Amino acid sequence: MTTKTIKIAVQNKGRLKDQSLEYLNQYQNEFELISIRDDDIPLYVASGTADYGIVGENVFYENPSGAKIVKRLNFGKCKLVIAGDKTKNIQSIQGARISTPYPRLLRAFLNNNNLRAEIIEVAGSTEIGPKLGFCDLICDLVQSGKTLKENNLIEIVKIMDSEAILIENPTLTNKYNQF
Ligand code: PRT
Ligand code: ZN
């Protein structure tokens, strides 16, 4: 029987990189690492270019791919929230302009709650939008809450919790059982 080196897609730089490598170091196996931007990890795994991947749940659900979740990894914890200045509350969402790097997750939340709002997709630095008048509210990740505070923003509602997850190509189920 031939054994094939398992290919694992991990973030090439950024918040999940070091802990992803630390997690994989617990195993004896030789892995072939594919280092890419986190947004592309679900697609690489779903297409079979990588067998497994490590990515945040927020990225996994924002980029539907067909990859399957193997397990939650207990690092990279954060939450996706809608936030605004202190004059804003849950009623402020209806009709608001909300900027976010996660338009799909925000759209699903709005639809599930019968809310209508304008979604403005941005790549980053979401938190400076309201004070520049670019948007009324933001929808972004929060960990310590420091960035919201620095921008005089408060959480209005939580959309989801997120942590790093191990995902696999759907055709692989139970083929490798080292994880
Ligand atoms: O280049 P690439 O596309 O791969 O990286 P990226 O810039 O998209 O992602 P990166 O490296 O910033 O984050 C990777 C993953 O880490 C995210 O997809 C989340 O799953 C997870 N994660 C955990 C976080 C945070 N915590 C986090 N705090 N990702 C981003 N943040 C940002 C947040 O956007 C906000 O601007 O940190 C700021 C808030 O942090 P606090 O501590 O001030 O609340
Ligand atoms: Zn990214």
For 3, other C-beta atoms within 10 Å of its C-beta total 8
**Would the CA dihedral through 110, 91, 123, 121 be positive or negative?**
positive
For 48-107, give the DSSP string.
TSSSEEEEEHHHHHHS--S-EEEEE-S-S-EEEEEEE-TT--GGGGTT-EEEES-HHHHH
CA of 87 relative to ligand 2 center, distance in Å: 31
Q: Rg of the chain's alpha carbons, rounded to an integer?
A: 18
pLDDT for the residue 167: 97
Determine the distance separating the centroid of ligand 2 and the alpha carbon of 99, expressed in angstroms: 16
pTM for the whole structure: 0.95
Task: Give distance in angstroms: CA of 154 to centre of ligand 2.
Answer: 24
Q: What is the structure's pLDDT at 32?
A: 96
Q: How far apart are CA 92 and CA 97, in angstroms?
A: 10
At residue 47, the pLDDT reads: 97
Compute φ and ψ for 51, nearest 5 degrees: -80, -40
* CA 168 / ligand 1 centre spacing (Å): 22
Residues with CB under 5 A from ligand 2 (ion): 38-39
Q: Which of 13, 38, 105 to mutate to test the pocket of ligand 1 (most atoms within 8 A of CB)?
A: 38
Q: Is the CB of 78 under 6 A from ligand 1?
A: yes
Q: Whose CA is nearest to atom 29 of ligand 1?
A: 141
74 lines ligand 1 (CB under 6 A): no
Measured from the CB, is residue 142 less than 6 Å from ligand 1?
Answer: yes
Amino acid found at 91: Q
pLDDT tens by residue, the chain, 179 residues: 556 899 999 999 999 999 999 999 999 888 999 999 999 999 999 999 999 999 999 999 999 999 999 999 999 999 999 999 999 999 999 999 999 999 999 999 999 999 999 999 999 999 999 999 999 999 999 999 999 999 999 999 999 999 999 999 999 866 666 78
- Supply the pLDDT for residue 14: 96
pLDDT at position 72, please?
A: 97
